[in-house]
Amino acid sequence: MKKVIIGMSGGVDSSVAAIVLKDQGYDVIGLFMRNWDSSINNDILGNPDLDNNICPQEQDYNDALKVCETIGIPLHRVDFVKEYWDYVFTYFLEELKKGRTPNPDVMCNKYIKFDMFAKEAKKLGADYIATGHYAQIKDNKLLRGIDQNKDQTYFLSQISKSQLENVLFPIGDMVKDDVRKIAEKYNLITADKKDSTGICFIGERNFSKFLSNYLPNQEGDIVNIETDEVVGKHIGLMHYTIGQRRGLNIGGNKDRIFVVGKDLDRNVLYIAHGDNNEYLFSDAALIEDVNWISNTKPDKCTAKFRYRQPDNDVIIEYIDEKHVLVKYPQKVKSVTPGQACVFYQGEECLGGGIIKEVYKNNMKLWYV
């Protein structure tokens, strides 16, 4: 009997993934990863999710433990707090300092879930590792999950082809409603548990308050890029991203207002009015740290420049092993440095990289 070590997060997806594996005849063992010291900042910030003095991460572990007891598999626990800090959280802070908008989930998959976790699983004698991701592997190709609303291949784009060997995604061919129905059938405590949202180490905390513990706020002007008029004050450039509309605290305007750029040297946040303002659009981007999962490296394919964005037709120009120039003459809105650019050919996820620079009409957009 083949042994599978599955990452148990305390959510419904990993819970049902474990059931599917067990029904398929595998020897299934759960492994819970503690990636963040939840006591950090609690005294300073408070945590609205605290229930009977149990932090959310500990509650997740307790839920995972109850699920494993219900379905009859053991659960181990491993501490990756230092590794997560070194490889994910430090990266997150450094990117923010550069004025970029990082995606820590992409790096968590690369360095923690499919590296550190896999090594720990081997110690437990794993033939395979598994997670509750909505993705599929067929014929050595990484494919989108059947549930297009939940597909998570975007977050797997920095994983190497070798890291995906001996990996199982048991619910990749299922939709979320069916996953919950299975959880209800087995009376799992996670059946009605809401999906986690936002950045995992922040959870339901106030983002600005959390971040101020690590990066000092530096207030500055908010400037209308079209008129050069100062229209307000920002609380620190790290708190804003290109295309952001909410939280600007600029009143008295009928038109919708969007963040269109940042000037780190002058500490200025630029805004513009209207959903289709020209300052929101670009037609090319330089992508760094490009990782190819597929053997296919096309000149034309589709790409997502952020999660839940529709596919965009793109042309790829290869610069070197880790850099490509991606062109999209039809123009795309709010392409943001620091975010992942992920390539697709049909249902296959080819890989991806990190957006470094953004261009329009052959000129680098200095304001992003």
Distance CA 255, CA 271 (A): 12
Distance CA 276, CA 259 (A): 12
Catalytic annotation, pick one of 55, 108, 341, 349: 108
Q: Is 349 a catalytic residue?
A: no
Q: How many CB atoms lie within 10 A of CB 337?
A: 23
Cβ atoms of residues 80 and 112 within 8 Å: yes
Q: Is 55 a catalytic residue?
A: no
Distance CA 354, CA 362 (A): 20
Distance CA 339, CA 354 (A): 6
**Paired residues of 230 in beta bridges:** 223
Chain position carrying tokens 């995906």: 164
* DSSP output for 27-52: EEEEEEEE-S-TTTTHHHH--TT-BT
Q: What is the largest CA-CA distance in the chain?
A: 69
Distance CA 231, CA 271 (A): 9
Cβ atoms of residues 367 and 174 within 8 Å: no
Q: How many CB atoms lie within 10 A of CB 230?
A: 12
Phi-psi bin for 52: left (phi > 0), alpha (psi -120 to 50), beta?
Answer: left
Q: Please give the positions annotated as active site.
A: 108, 200
